[in-house]
Chain A
Amino acid sequence: MPAMTYLQAISSALRDEMRADERVLLMGEDIGVFGGAFKVTDGLSAEFGPDRVMDTPLAESAIIGTAVGAAVVGLRPVCEMQFSDFISCGFDQLVNVAGKMHYRQGLAVPIVVRLPSGGGFSGGPFHSQNPEALFMHSPGIKVVAPSTAEDAKGLLHAAIHDPNPVCFMEHKHLYRRVKGEVPEGVYETPFTARVARAGEDLVVIAYGAMVDVALEATDDLDGARVEVLDLRSLVPLDTAAILDSVKRCSKVVIVDEANMTCAAGAQVAALIAEHGFEDLDGPVVRVATPDVPIPFSPPLEQAVLPGVERIKEACRELLAY
């Protein structure tokens, strides 16, 4: 198996899909000759041409809306938001048009929206957000968030094959930082959780970039055997895997890079409170970004984003409970 970065794995999935299925086309701002702001689509225009690697006008609502139209007449558009923050401009088309279509009239909308998300590099308030919870709250949209190169490729294949709108949260901080072996060819990673490291004293539940941070924070935590559960998919949410980890470990720390209130982790906490209460040996603890815009300056940004030390501290406190 070749080793790839998270970014290369995403590019590889796009290339494989476009080679295999002429219905697949990519749409986004500056994704053609330029190869995208992060170079995810670098080289694809040369191979597949400007029609299938489409440089669009700077218009996020139009990118989503026209993708919906193309999808209902048989294409398989994969849209790129240049930054996930910009999905706010396409929110209506995604939530009201794409998300509700199948329920209302039985018409499937097979589109993927790639959302480069997350902070940690002084992107400031408009280039650092994690908007996934907005779409968890909107019926009819699936949401996945890979943390490894292998899952980035497999989840993207599965998302493109899925007959529904799928938000593919790709964390910018992982693009070149995470590298791993990736199977060749087309394979699907299921929209289920994955035990990133097994344990029995406590489980840290995370997704996306926070999985690595959780693994690092709990790698050597005073000898405790800490499990890390990587959700991978937020819609559907793998409730069985979550409750299974809770049952095994009895103590839970939930980590979100997103803002705290109503984040994905809030839903996980509610799920555990409702269905895992008897298995708990302590309060459910959450670590997340406080409810502030993500500030620009490094010391300010680091002060709000969950990091290794905050997770360590939360785990230690809970282990001692």
Chain B
Amino acid sequence: MAIETVTPASAQPDPPVAEPEHLTRQDRIGLLRAMLEMRGIEQRAMSLYRQGKVPGSFYDGYGQEAVSAGAAFAMAAEDRLCILHRDLAAHLIRGVAPERIFAQYMGRADGITAGRDGNVHFGDRHTGCVGMVSMLPDMMLVAAGMAMAFKLRGERRCALTWFGDGSTSRGDFHEAMNWAGVQKLPVVFVLENNQYAYSTPLDKQFAVDPVKRATAYGFEGVSVDGNDVEAMFEATRAARERAINGGGPTLIEAVTMRMHGHAAHDDMKYVPIEQVEEWKQRDPIDRQERRLQQLGVDVDELRKTVADELDAAAQQALKGPMPSPDDVLDGVFCDGQAEPLGDGRAPWSGFAKGHA
């Protein structure tokens, strides 16, 4: 059976800016800033990788910045997240400092895992985040488990995780969707449909669009333009509201495109050039910038501010030490008390206004 491959609408000019109900001007700038920071960090990290300063390979989320920025922006401080490897903006929104992220990429002592894990394989437990593992989508179950605890304790909190189109083929996708549906958990599943799992296109991954499967598990699935950061925010905000009000899980399919290879070594020759060209017209940062320019925001100034901050952060990380092999055997086990995750930053103005 043939399936439809999701492609963007042709590059129409964006519709006139409607005032979003739940976003202030400052929020909208914040969303752009998170995306600019993510792209700026990843571009600098790619350079560091090419200079041999980032060991292993390097994975980025170029072109997908809206998915993590929009979704994470809708999450409250006490909510909990499992963040994937193309979702750096979520870490930034939760409060992880860019210099620590550069240090993480370079395997340095000041990185979030202090050199014990690489790339975006981290979660800063002080920001309410559990770091991902490479087996996908394992974190769907961890997120479901956090949501289960919230529900059991009667707390108005929510868990969220991202995962990709390839993840929908594994059993843990089914187990998590089913469990969350059966127990009606306050969890938001963000399926980042970026058209390829490494080199494998959607038509070799599934016969039924995963968002349609949500209904079969007993909850709602919505498809969102994953390159529109405000649409991502709004879909996640609504899903979170449903979750904390006892309405159960939501599957959000964020339709986007992986604009770089799977990792730095991947030349992406399996992707038709026209597909890339088409998606370039829908770059999430360009789109948000155009919106904000119409509102009179000095986008160039914001870009420059972010660039200066990131240059300084990269320099600071480069001065940091490598980890000492002396303690490479420490910490396999916890010797003290188990401390649960702490709260993260939640910059959305709605929380200050007492929303949700």
B57, CB-defined interface residue at 8 Å: no
Over the window 315-356 of chain B, the binary record of Cβ atoms lying under 8 Å from chain A Cβ atoms (1 yes, 0 no) is 000000000000000011111111111000000000000000
| A72 close to B122 (CB less than 8 A) | no
Q: Which residues of A contact B140 (CB under 8 A)?
A: 65
Pairs of residues from A and B, 10 with the lowest C-beta to C-beta distance, nearest first? A69-B145, A65-B141, A66-B145, A108-B338, A163-B338, A108-B334, A62-B175, A69-B146, A69-B142, A163-B334
B139, B146, B335, most chain A CB atoms within 10 A: B146
Chain B: minimal CB distance from A117 (Å)? 23
The residues in A between 4 and 31 inclusive whose CB is less than 8 angstroms from any CB of B are: 25
| A70 close to B145 (CB less than 8 A) | yes
Complex-state Cα separation, A67 to B179, whole angstroms: 12
| B123 close to A107 (CB less than 8 A) | yes
Given A103-B331, A108-B334, A140-B333, answer yes or no on A65-B176 (Cβ-Cβ < 8 Å).
yes
Beyond contacts A105-B117, A163-B338: 5 other A-B pairs, Cβ-Cβ < 8 A, are: A62-B178, A65-B141, A68-B145, A72-B341, A163-B335
| B149 close to A62 (CB less than 8 A) | no
Q: Which residues of B contact A140 (CB under 8 A)?
A: 332-333
| A72 close to B130 (CB less than 8 A) | yes
| A96 close to B152 (CB less than 8 A) | no
| A93 close to B182 (CB less than 8 A) | no
A97, CB-defined interface residue at 8 Å: yes
| B117 close to A92 (CB less than 8 A) | no
B147, CB-defined interface residue at 8 Å: yes
| A107 close to B125 (CB less than 8 A) | yes
Q: Which of A53-61, A224-232, A290-298 makes up part of the contact surface? A: A53-61
Complex-state Cα separation, A97 to B133, whole angstroms: 7
| B122 close to A92 (CB less than 8 A) | no
Q: Which residues of A contact B122 (CB under 8 A)?
A: 104-105
B159, CB-defined interface residue at 8 Å: yes
Given A51-B152, A69-B144, A69-B149, answer yes or no on A100-B338 (Cβ-Cβ < 8 Å).
no
B250, CB-defined interface residue at 8 Å: no
| A61 close to B142 (CB less than 8 A) | no
A61, A62, A139, most chain B CB atoms within 10 A: A62
A75, CB-defined interface residue at 8 Å: yes
Interface size class of A (residues with CB under 8 A): 35 or more
A82, CB-defined interface residue at 8 Å: no
Complex-state Cα separation, A56 to B143, whole angstroms: 16
| A102 close to B145 (CB less than 8 A) | no
Complex-state Cα separation, A59 to B145, whole angstroms: 13
Complex-state Cα separation, A52 to B133, whole angstroms: 28
Q: Which residues of B contact A62 (CB under 8 A)?
A: 141, 144, 172, 175-176, 178-179
Query: Can you sample 29 A-B contacts with CB below 8 Å?
Result: A57-B182, A59-B175, A59-B178, A59-B179, A61-B141, A64-B141, A65-B142, A67-B145, A68-B141, A69-B141, A69-B142, A69-B159, A70-B148, A71-B145, A72-B341, A75-B149, A96-B138, A105-B113, A105-B116, A105-B117, A105-B124, A105-B125, A106-B125, A107-B341, A108-B339, A110-B334, A139-B332, A140-B333, A142-B333
Complex-state Cα separation, A102 to B112, whole angstroms: 13
Chain A: minimal CB distance from B244 (Å)? 15
Q: Which residues of A contact B333 (CB under 8 A)?
A: 102, 140, 142, 164
Q: Which of A65, A104, A108 contacts B138 (CB 8 A)?
A: A65
Q: Which residues of B contact A164 (CB under 8 A)?
A: 333-334
B135, CB-defined interface residue at 8 Å: yes
Over the window 106-149 of chain A, the binary record of Cβ atoms lying under 8 Å from chain B Cβ atoms (1 yes, 0 no) is 11111000000000000000000000000000011010000000
Interface residues of A (CB under 8 A from B): 25, 51-52, 56-57, 59, 61-62, 64-75, 92-93, 96-97, 100-110, 139-140, 142, 163-164
Q: Which residues of A contact B221 (CB under 8 A)?
A: none
The residues in B between 95 and 114 inclusive whose CB is less than 8 angstroms from any CB of A are: 112-113
Complex-state Cα separation, A185 to B310, whole angstroms: 57
Chain A: minimal CB distance from B16 (Å)? 43
Complex-state Cα separation, A69 to B176, whole angstroms: 12
Complex-state Cα separation, A103 to B332, whole angstroms: 5
Given A69-B148, A73-B80, A75-B152, answer yes or no on A57-B175 (Cβ-Cβ < 8 Å).
yes
Q: What is the number of residues of chain B that contact chain A, defined by CB distance less than 8 Å?
A: 48
| B130 close to A107 (CB less than 8 A) | yes
Given A25-B152, A69-B149, A108-B339, answer yes or no on A97-B179 (Cβ-Cβ < 8 Å).
no
Given A92-B138, A97-B138, answer yes or no on A110-B338 (Cβ-Cβ < 8 Å).
yes
B131, CB-defined interface residue at 8 Å: yes
Complex-state Cα separation, A142 to B335, whole angstroms: 12
Chain A: minimal CB distance from B78 (Å)? 10
B279, CB-defined interface residue at 8 Å: no
Q: Which residue of B lies closest to A165 (CB)?
A: B333
Complex-state Cα separation, A98 to B96, whole angstroms: 23
Complex-state Cα separation, A101 to B113, whole angstroms: 10
| A66 close to B148 (CB less than 8 A) | yes
A51, A70, A164, most chain B CB atoms within 10 A: A70
Q: Which residue of A lies closest to B157 (CB)?
A: A73
| A104 close to B131 (CB less than 8 A) | yes
Chain B: minimal CB distance from A249 (Å)? 31
| B116 close to A103 (CB less than 8 A) | yes
B150, CB-defined interface residue at 8 Å: yes
Q: Which residues of B contact A100 (CB under 8 A)?
A: 133
Chain A: minimal CB distance from B4 (Å)? 30
B56, CB-defined interface residue at 8 Å: no
Chain A: minimal CB distance from B169 (Å)? 14
B303, CB-defined interface residue at 8 Å: no
| A74 close to B340 (CB less than 8 A) | yes
Over the window 40-64 of chain B, the binary record of Cβ atoms lying under 8 Å from chain A Cβ atoms (1 yes, 0 no) is 0000000000000000000000000
Chain A: minimal CB distance from B98 (Å)? 18
Q: Which residues of A contact B152 (CB under 8 A)?
A: 25, 51-52, 70, 75
Q: Which residue of A lies closest to B140 (CB)?
A: A65
Chain A: minimal CB distance from B84 (Å)? 14
B121, CB-defined interface residue at 8 Å: yes
| A106 close to B331 (CB less than 8 A) | yes
Q: Which residues of B contact A93 (CB under 8 A)?
A: 138, 141, 172
Chain B: minimal CB distance from A192 (Å)? 15
